[in-house]
Structure 1
Amino acid sequence: LITFTTLLTLASAHFRLQEPYWRGDSFASNRSQWTWPCAGVSQENSTTNRTAWPLTGGTVRANVSHEWAFTYINLGLGEAVTSFNVSLVEGFNQTGAGIFCISETGREALAGLNLTDGQPASVQIIQISHSGASLYNCADIVFRTDATIAGGDTCQNSTGVGGVELASVGSETCKGGA
């Protein structure tokens, strides 16, 4: 019973990517959300498991369980992605546990990439928890001119869930001898 309770606690302290549809179940016994870059989930199903995404950015929706987590959303272009070198969302503090949703994710970053209909890519979501542990999930997408984003009731945050942009507080030194 103690082992089951421990496993349940570990599983609930992670996040489940709902949209775009995740590459694979990162809660499976041979995988770990602590494993970079995609929780130990390979791209073996990428050709049949790609979510259509608008050229202007798609929906990212996740069921998050940490009360807060620094969150980053990255993109890697191509069929077999080895580098997530495009920052769609540079960093924000996701707050509150529940459903977190962003519509038109990365609109500004995607504008300068000259994307084309049918271009494959992968999205990587990273959450850094209060303990400093990083959690990863990935989804494989294909950019489509006719893809739609979730809107209205389908892309709403749960009550108490939101996000705050991370910002620099400057480089002034502390006063008082510290």
Structure 2
Amino acid sequence: MALKSLLLGLAAVQAVTAHFAVVYPEWRADTLAEENEDKYSQWDYPCGGVPYKAGNITNWPLGGGALQLELHHPWTYLFVNLGLGANATNFNISLTPDLVNVTGKGTLCIDKLAVPDDSIKEGTLASIQVVTSGESGSALYNCADIRFTKNATGPSNCSTSDGLEMHTIKEDDDEDHDHDNSTDSSSQDGASGNGSAPADKKNAAAGLMGSDKSVLATVVGLAVAFSLGLGL
């Protein structure tokens, strides 16, 4: 009986550490909190099962703002989408058009995610959808509700943990290195706290991707599937 309890406890710890938290903008609800474990699940598309306005609405700068996450995987594929309007259900604007691969656990701070829509007006309501995928290939979801305003200020302290690195992998990077075993990825694009990674770290961050076009296409396809909630 004691062994069974221990195993269940270890399984619970593993499940929590496999999830992630949205620190800024403030997420709809703490989907990692023990009191919410029977209410919400980060596996549920599009927002971890948390309804609109379950939490506060954060003022976010016109043109784009900061994103701060707590990541618990050794490496993570990261996708950030935007849905315009109150209670948005269509997260059809990508704030991470290139594949993002984060290596390391801890705090990730992206200074600014640019919004590719200059028609957004003062006071427009929207929701940010953060999607992550780790080694299992399954997607996890969290959302934060925002209001666009020119007077918005970012988080008071937004820095990236030591040893945590963000890489963006562009499709043309893969084409340029079709006969190379390394993946040319830009390190810490828009993220604070670290400089560029040396080549060996870039290769490690790319993980299984290498420079195989078919693998890259598969991962990009997964990103689209995640954003559409195709239950992979």
How much does 1:92 deviate? 0.4
Counterpart in the other structure of 1:93: 101
Counterpart in the other structure of 1:118: 123
Higher RCO, 1 vs 2 (CA within 8 Å, ≥6 residues apart): 1
How much does 1:44 deviate? 4.4
2:29 to 24, 28, 37: 24
1:81 and 2:88 aligned: yes
CA distance in 2, matches of 1:66, 1:56: 30
Q: How many residues align?
A: 166
More strand by share: 1
1:6 and 2:16 aligned: no
Does the 8 Å CA contact 1:71/1:94 hold for their aligned counterparts?
yes
SS in 1 for 2:155: coil
What letter is aligned with 1:160? G
1:35 to 40, 44, 51: 44
How much does 1:96 deviate? 0.7
2:164 to 156, 161, 166: 161
Does the 8 Å CA contact 1:56/1:104 hold for their aligned counterparts?
no
- Overall identity of the aligned pairs, in %: 36
Does the 8 Å CA contact 1:103/1:150 hold for their aligned counterparts?
no
How much does 1:45 deviate? 2.7
How much does 1:118 deviate? 1.0
Counterpart in the other structure of 1:176: none
Does the 8 Å CA contact 2:24/2:155 hold for their aligned counterparts?
no
CA distance in 1, matches of 2:74, 2:143: 21
CA distance in 2, matches of 1:106, 1:73: 11
SS in 1 for 2:76: strand
CA distance in 1, matches of 2:50, 2:131: 14
1:132 to 129, 137, 146: 137
2:151 to 146, 150, 154: 146
C-alpha offsets along residues 65-102 of structure 1, whole Å, 9 cap, x if unaligned?
11111101110000010110000112300111000011
C-alpha offsets along residues 23-73 of structure 1, whole Å, 9 cap, x if unaligned?
112222221111111111111436xx1000000211110110111111011
SS in 2 for 1:61: strand
How much does 1:155 deviate? 1.8
How much does 1:136 deviate? 0.7
CA distance in 2, matches of 1:60, 1:44: 19
More helix by share: 2
CA distance in 1, matches of 2:54, 2:15: 26
Does the 8 Å CA contact 2:109/2:158 hold for their aligned counterparts?
yes
Q: Superposition RMSD on alpha carbons, in Å?
A: 1.9
CA distance in 2, matches of 1:62, 1:45: 19
> Gaps (5+ residues) in structure 1?
174-178
C-alpha offsets along residues 90-137 of structure 1, whole Å, 9 cap, x if unaligned?
230011100001112124x2xx33111111000001111111011111
